[in-house]
Structure formats: C-alpha cells, structure tokens
Amino acid sequence: MINYQFSVHKSMVLSNRKALSLYLFKIHRAKDIHEIMTLSHDLDNYKGDRVPLEVVTKEINSVAEALQEDYLGLKVINFIDVTYLPLYKGIKLCINPLVNAKVQIPLIVICRLVARYFGIITESIQVSFIEEKYSLRLVFNPSMPKQVSRHQIDGVMLAVHKILYALSGLTPIKLTIAHRHSSHGIDLYKKLFGISAELSDETNSLYYALDPIDSHKSSSVYLDSVRKRLRNCFFIGPLQNMMNKEFPNLSYSERCEHILMTIMGLNETNREQVALVLNMSVSSLQRRLREEGTSFHRILLETKKIMAHKYLIEQRLPATDVAFLLGYHSHSQFFQAFKLWYLMTPMAYQKQHQGQP
C-alpha cells in the first residue's frame, strides 16, 4: 500500500510547472514543453488542495530524467515568484501589523514562521529552525529520505532563501550541502544563493547572521530585546488558519503544541493567547482538549519539556539562554521549574545526557 502521509499543495505543483515552462523557454527548448507536460499528473484526480508527495516526486524525477538535468530543482525554483505562494502571503498577513507600526521585524520571527509553517506548501522537506548564539540556522531533512530526490531538497532550500530574502532582504552567511558528494555544478549555488556552497557530511543548512540590532552576547538579552520590539503585536492567526484548513485532521492538542512552539519566548504562552490564534473562546478550547483527554496546562508543560531537551541536549545552549527561549522572565524561575520536572538542575541534566543527540 502506498503511504500518502505527506503531501504538496496544488498551488506549489502548478507554480513548479509554470516555472519549468519558463526555464525551457529560457534555454531555447520550448519545443520540448508539450512532451514534458505529458509527464504531469492530472491534479483533478486528487480531492481538495493537496497531492500525495509520492506523486509529485515521481513527476519531478521523470522530468529530470527526460531533460537529463541534474540541477532541475534549483533551475526551476529560480523562475518562481515566491510572493504568490500561500506561505509568503500568510507570513505577510502575520507581520503586517508590525510593518504598519514601523517595527523592524526580528529575523527570528520570520525564520520561525517559515520553518513551522512550511508544510502548508509542501511536506517534501522538513524545515527545522535552530537558534544559535551568533546566528540562526535552517536545516532541511527529507520527509521520506529513500524517495525524496536531490531536486526537491535543492528546490526547497532555494525557495526558503527566496522567501526570506523577499521578507528581510538578507542573504545567508553560510550554505552547507549534504545531499551531493561532488563539487560539480557548485557555482550554481553561489549564483542563486549569493554564497559558495560547502559540501557537508552532516546537514543541508542555511545560516543567517543576526543583524546588528539583534546581535547580543546571549540569547536571553536577544530574546528580551525581541519581545520589547514586538510589543505583543506578534500574531500568527492567519498562518494557523491556513494550517487548520490544509490539515483538518490535526487534533486540538497538536494545534496547541504547534502554536506554543512557534510563539514560545516571543509572546505570552497562555490559553487566552492560544485560543485567540485558534479563533475560539477559552472555554471552547478547554472543552475540546478535555474531549481529547488532556488539558492546556499539560500540553504547555510537555511542550516546554520537549523544547528544553532540544535546547539543552541537541543544541547545547546554556541554561540561562534556554530559560528565556522558553518564555521565563528569569533563569531562577526556569531552574525551579526544571528541578520540579526532573529532580535535578539543567546543568546536571546536560551532563547526564552528554554525548546523546
């Protein structure tokens, strides 16, 4: 049985096809467009706005093979105007109140929104966001490593770069490529990303430097400055509405966790804020969660534990920085809460898990 766990928005498939036609015109192969388009699947065969990932992957691989093109993903996405993509439009709706208030948008906000909601347009690649001391990093991992092609990895990385550039005007300071093992064609990455690509044995990643106004000695000082600049105007309702529409089977527990992971450290993480994002009353949210056998308090606690482990063990961040990334107003509050969770300090927890991923 084919696993249709992951999917791609039809608008992304159509954008890719249009961009492919533009690319073929550009390289004087317009005569091949009709033949190439015969490899396309009829989107009307799939109900709703989404197409199974396997179907899209098969189409991309067939086109790349027919054209004998090893960097098709990069060359096609280069012809896409990302400002027409649903994800870009959703992010613009979220940050417009800040723009109208003439608040400089912190890069961490844009990166979090792109990473957390990228699945709206495609689930081919899981985009992870890592907050480091002097930079922000986006990591790209195939949802189905044995099936997703290098063309899709390239395409998603370039699409994310183009979205971030359209929203912030920033280019990456470092680009690492793990899905290719030859420097052949490496100049194309430099042309499209504005920086040379480095072959890596570990991850496909885009690194961005914090701009001068965001550069601080610690994450705690940085997050404090971000919160002051946002002035409680950071609202992700438009994107979450898109997410709910695209993935209606998500439980309310999953929706709450997703929202909390997005706004943690940037906005208040109380039930009132989450209910506002979900466009429902607090009582309705509580009732929905009770029906699922849980509560907002339990979800918030588990989300903080998950993120604390990620920051302390996976990213090896100092406990004082983790406190602010989790939304605590002082590291002493975090230390007290952590000792209640695990009967040990964050530093002891790090030591106990030393060497673990």
Token duo for residue 88: 């870009």
Counting every residue written for the chain, the total comes to: 357
Give the CA-trace dihedral at 117, 120, 122, 128, to 10 degrees. 10
**134 torsion bin: left (phi>0), alpha (psi -120 to 50), beta (else):** alpha
pLDDT recorded at residue 106: 83
Structure letter (DSSP) for residue 118: G
Phi, psi of 142 (to 5 degrees): -60, 140
Token duo for residue 205: 């990643």
Phi, psi of 264 (to 5 degrees): -55, 125
Structure letter (DSSP) for residue 8: E
Q: What is the pLDDT along the chain (357 residues), one digit of tens a residue?
A: 234 589 999 999 999 999 999 999 999 999 999 999 999 999 999 999 999 999 999 999 999 999 999 999 999 999 999 999 999 999 999 998 888 878 778 888 899 999 999 999 999 999 999 887 778 899 999 999 888 899 999 999 999 999 999 999 989 999 999 999 888 888 999 999 999 999 998 899 999 987 655 554 555 566 667 766 776 667 899 999 999 999 999 999 999 999 999 999 888 899 999 999 999 999 999 999 999 999 999 999 999 999 999 999 988 888 988 998 898 888 899 999 999 999 999 999 999 887 666
Structure letter (DSSP) for residue 267: B
Q: Which residue reads 């998603």 in tokens?
A: 156
Phi, psi of 140 (to 5 degrees): -120, 115
Residue 201, classed as helix, strand or coil, is coil
Strand-by-strand arrangement of the 135-142 sheet = 125-131, 135-142, 204-209, 174-177, 197-199
Q: What is the pTM of this model?
A: 0.91
Q: Would you say 86 and 120 are in contact if contact means Cβ atoms under 8 Å apart?
A: yes
